[in-house]
A and B are shown apart, each in its own frame.
Chain A
């Protein structure tokens, strides 16, 4: 299975700051990577697919980059509603696998 590693479990930031969340695959997955956001009591929200394509409705302050094994989700100028849990997921091959998640907390 492709192992997905999110090196940071927690990340603390303040509104207005920019943050980057990294995700590393154990083998090349081209750009078959998605990013999700989860907030307590809410459904998961697909933010980005194909490594860098914003899902409809995702604010433009979100961006994704990378290909191969290293990927980054960047959030510019954090808004209060951006705090939550972020996951990456590869869909290069089955079984689809997820990173362990990065919790973005309010500093």
Chain B
């Protein structure tokens, strides 16, 4: 069974970078696409981007040049980096397998607070 698990610091200071890891078991990340989604306090959700089986990426324009999604195929992990964070980036971050538009397997999420 495909399982995803997010990890990373729960607290990040404003203007710094947020870095998260998604560890995948039960499926190779060299197949399919893999994405990041976040849920803000109040339940609004935002698709952030994805990385393909070949390493190409697609990002939500709202995140402009702040976002980067990379991967380590040897560890079957992919990563999210979000630069220049503000308090508005406080959210629960989820990784998921992208299935042509929708997401069929999700991690349980990691809560990240941006605060000084």
Contact = CB atoms under 8 A, between A and B. Distances in A.
Interface of B: 4, 43-47, 58, 60-62, 94, 96, 99-109
A95 B43 contact: no
State which size class the interface on A falls in. Answer: 20 to 34
A38 B102 CA distance: 15
Nearest to B100: A91
A45 B102 CA distance: 11
Contacts of A94: 58, 60
- Could you tell me the dominant secondary structure of chain B's interface residues? strand
A89 B96 contact: no
20 contacts: A34-B101, A41-B108, A43-B106, A44-B96, A44-B103, A46-B103, A46-B104, A46-B105, A49-B104, A87-B45, A89-B47, A89-B102, A89-B103, A91-B102, A95-B60, A97-B47, A98-B44, A98-B45, A100-B43, A100-B44
Given A41-B108, A94-B58, A95-B62, A46 B46 contact: no
Interface in A68-93: 85, 87, 89, 91-92
